[in-house]
Amino acid sequence: KQRNPNEPEFVQAVEEVAEVIVPFLQTDAGKAYRDAKILERVTEADRIFMFRVPWMDDQGNYQINRGYRVQMNNAIGPYKGGLRFHPSVNLSVLKFLAFEQVFKNSLTTLPLGGGKGGSDFDPKGKSDDEVMRFCQSFMTELAKHIGAYTDVPAGDIGVGSREIGFLFGQYKRIKDHFMGVLTGKSLQYGGSLIRPEATGYGNVYFSREMLKERGDGLEGKTCVVSGSGNVAQFTVERLIGLGAKVVTLSDSSGFIHDPQGVTAEKLEWVMDLKNYRRGRISEYAREFGCDFFEGEKPWRIGCDLAYPSATQNELDERDAKALLDNGCKGVFEGANMPCMPGAITLFREHRAMFAPGKASNAGGVATSGLEMSQNKLGLTWSRETVDEKLRDIMSDIHDKCVEHGRVDNGYVDYVRGANLAGFLKVADAMLAQGLV
Ligand code: NDP
C-alpha cells in the first residue's frame, strides 16, 4: 500500500493473491520462493509506458487523451493482455488488470506472459472516423513497444473488432509487417473462429465443470447476467444453448428483468443494439415489454446462478447477501474482479460455488493464444476444433483449481486453487531464470 498509494484497485488485486500466497510462503514448500522474493518481484511491473494520444474530433477540435501499456511479467511468454478504452481507465486499474492477467495466463497452460493497456478515451458517442483517428494516434506510439514475440495486445472494454481493425491497420502501416501482433482480429485478416465467443463460452464451460463436481448441471437453472457487451452476450448464448434460462442483462445505466427469459431471437436483437446501433439496454424493456431498473444492478433478482460480466467491483457484500438469501448457489466471474472482497468472503463462508475471474474468464485469452498459434502456423482451425480446445483448456484449469484448492470437508476453494496454481508456474519459471 505504501509503495502504491492512490492505487486501490491494484492493492485490492494484490491483497487477494497475497491472502493465499503469503501463508504458502511460510511453509517448507514455499521457502525457495520466499528466499528469492518472488512475490515482491511479481508485484512490480517489468515496465510501464504512459503516453500522450492527440487526435482531432469531427468538428476540427484538438483532443488529448492518455495512453498506457503495462508490461507486467514475461517469465513464461510474451506479454499478453487486452486494451481498455473507458473514461475510468487509470494506472491503478491497468496495473490490477495486468497483475491478474499474469496468473490467468499462467493457468491457461499456454506460454503467455501478462500485460494490459488502454486509454481514458471514451468511444461512446464518437463517430467511426473519430474512433479511427484516435486508434491510429494510439498505435503510433504503442507500435514502438509491442511485437509478435514481445507483447501481443487484444480487446477489452471499449475495444472490439472495429477498434482492433483500426489498430492493426496502423501497426501494419508503420512497421510494414503483416503479423499477429494483436488478437481479436476479424476472420478476413488472421482472426480465430470462436475468439469473440471465447470468454463467455469459457465461463459457462467452467461453471458446468463446477456444477459437475457437485453432481449437478446447467439444465433448467435460472441465471442472472450483468453487462450486455462481448462477455455477457456470449455467456447468455451458451447458457441458453445448454438449457439454462437467463433473466437479466445490464449496462452502465441499469438492468432489465425478463422473467420469460432471453431467447436466441432476443439475444440477436441485443447484439445488433449493442454492437452496431450502439444503443442502451433500456430499449430492450420497451421492445420486449419487461421491466427496466434505472441505475440498479441485477443481484436482487432470485436465481440459481450468477454471472457478473460487466466490470470490476460491481457486486458488493450487500449484493452477495441478497443473492444468497434468494437461493443463489454459484457465482462465476466473467468480468475481471467484479466481486468485492466482502462479497467473496461471504460466498466462501456459505460454501457457495465461487469462480474467480482469473480462472473462469481465462477462455478469452486462451483462445487469443490459439489465434497466435494459428497466425504463426499460417493456418485457420475450424470452429469445432477451436471450441473443443477451449473446452479442454477450461476443464484443465478447473482440474488445477481442484488440485490446489480442496480444503476441509471436500469443499473446493477456487480462489485458493487458482491463485496457487497460477502463481507456482510463474514462480518456478522465475526461479529457473535467476535474478531478473
Ligand atoms: P464490453 O465493452 O463489450 O462490455 C462491457 C459491458 O459492461 C457493457 O455492457 C458496459 O455498459 C458495462 N460496463 C462497463 N463499465 C461499467 C460500469 N462502470 N458500470 C456498469 N456497467 C459497466 O466489454 P467486455 O464484455 O469485453 O468486458 C467485460 C468484462 O470482462 C471486463 O471486466 C473485462 O476486463 C472482462 N474480460 C473480457 C474479456 C474479453 O475477451 N472481452 C476477457 C476476460 C475478461 P455500457 O455499454 O453502458 O458501458
Q: How far is CA 2 from CA 8, 284, 387, in A?
A: 11, 46, 44
Residue nearest to atom 5 of ligand 1 (CA): 229
Q: Quick one: which atom of ligand 1 is closest to the CA of 368?
A: 40
User: Residue 293: inside a domain, yes or no?
Assistant: yes
Instruction: Give the sheet arrangement for strand 291-294, strand by strand.
Output: 248-251, 254-257, 291-294
Q: Could you give the ipTM of this predicted complex?
A: 0.98
CATH number of the CATH domain containing 22: 3.40.50.10860
| 289 and 206, same domain (yes or no) | yes
| pLDDT for position 1 | 84
User: Residue 86: inside a domain, yes or no?
Assistant: yes
Which burial class, exposed, middle or buried, applies to 63 when counting CB atoms under 10 A from its CB (0-12, 13-18, 19+)? Answer: middle
* 79 CB neighbour count, 10 Å cutoff: 29
**CA pair distance 385, 213, nearest whole angstrom:** 25
Q: Report pLDDT digits (tens) over 360-393.
A: 999 999 999 999 999 999 999 999 999 999 999 9
Distance from the CA of 359 to the center of ligand 1, in angstroms?
A: 17
Sign of the C-alpha dihedral, residues 12, 19, 361, 302? Answer: negative
Cβ atoms 155, 230 nearer than 8 A: yes
Q: Quick one: which atom of ligand 1 is closest to the CA of 104?
A: 43
Q: Quick one: which atom of ligand 1 is closest to the CA of 86?
A: 15
Best of 85, 192, 252, 370 for a ligand 1 pocket test (most atoms within 8 Å of beta carbon) = 252
Domain that holds residue 69: 8-178
pLDDT band at residue 274 under the 50/70/90 scheme: very high
**CA pair distance 299, 32, nearest whole angstrom:** 43
Look at residues 120, 147, 178 and tell me which one is the last residue of a structural domain: 178
| pLDDT for position 94 | 98
Q: Report pLDDT digits (tens) over 300-344.
A: 999 999 999 999 999 999 999 999 999 999 999 999 999 999 999
| pLDDT for position 177 | 87
Cβ atoms 415, 360 nearer than 8 A: no
Cβ atoms 181, 145 nearer than 8 A: no
| 170 and 312, same domain (yes or no) | no
Q: Stretch 175-189: mean pLDDT, rounded? A: 93
| 41 and 116, same domain (yes or no) | yes
User: Residue 424: inside a domain, yes or no?
Assistant: no
Residues tagged in the binding site annotation for NAD(+): 199, 230
pLDDT band at residue 249 under the 50/70/90 scheme: very high
Residue written as grid cell 494506472: 91
| pLDDT for position 2 | 86
Please name every residue paired with 353 in a beta bridge, in sequence order, or none if there are none.
330
- How many residues are recorded in the chain? 436
Burial 110-143 (b: 16+ CB within 10 A, else e): bebbbbbbbbbbebeebeeebbbbbbbbbbbebb
| 148 and 202, same domain (yes or no) | no
Please name every residue paired with 406 in a beta bridge, in sequence order, or none if there are none.
412
**pTM, to two decimals:** 0.95
Q: Which residues, at least 6 apart from 377, have a Cβ–Cβ distance to it below 8 Å? A: none
Residue written as grid cell 460480466: 309
| 233 and 133, same domain (yes or no) | no
Look at residues 148, 178, 208 and tell me which one is the last residue of a structural domain: 178
| 158 and 218, same domain (yes or no) | no
Best of 9, 99, 164, 230 for a ligand 1 pocket test (most atoms within 8 Å of beta carbon) = 230
- By annotation, the residues acting in catalysis are 116
DSSP-assigned letters across all residues of 125-147 = T--HHHHHHHHHHHHHHHTTT-B
Q: Stretch 28-32: mean pLDDT, rounded? A: 98
CATH number of the CATH domain containing 223: 3.40.50.720
User: Residue 294: inside a domain, yes or no?
Assistant: yes
User: Residue 406: inside a domain, yes or no?
Assistant: no
Q: Report pLDDT digits (tens) over 396-418.
A: 999 999 999 998 888 999 999 99
| 52 and 19, same domain (yes or no) | yes
Q: How many structural domains are present in the chain?
A: 2
Farthest CA pair distance, the chain: 65
β-pairing verdict for 79-85 and 245-246: unpaired
Which burial class, exposed, middle or buried, applies to 66 when counting CB atoms under 10 A from its CB (0-12, 13-18, 19+)? Answer: middle
Give ligand 1 pocket residues (Cβ under 6 A). 155-158, 199, 227-232, 251-253, 309-311, 314, 334-336, 361, 364
User: Residue 417: inside a domain, yes or no?
Assistant: no
| pLDDT for position 436 | 86
Residue nearest to atom 7 of ligand 1 (CA): 310
Cβ atoms 308, 315 nearer than 8 A: yes
Distance from the CA of 229 to the center of ligand 1, in angstroms?
A: 6
| 210 and 162, same domain (yes or no) | no
Residue nearest to atom 4 of ligand 1 (CA): 229
| 211 and 130, same domain (yes or no) | no
**CA pair distance 209, 206, nearest whole angstrom:** 5
| 60 and 89, same domain (yes or no) | yes
Q: Report pLDDT digits (tens) over 112-155.
A: 999 999 999 999 999 999 999 999 999 999 999 999 999 999 99
Percentage of the chain beyond pLDDT 70 is: 100
Backbone angles phi, psi at 249, to 5 degrees: -150, 160
| pLDDT for position 409 | 81
Vertex 212, ends 156 and 210: CA angle to 5°?
A: 35
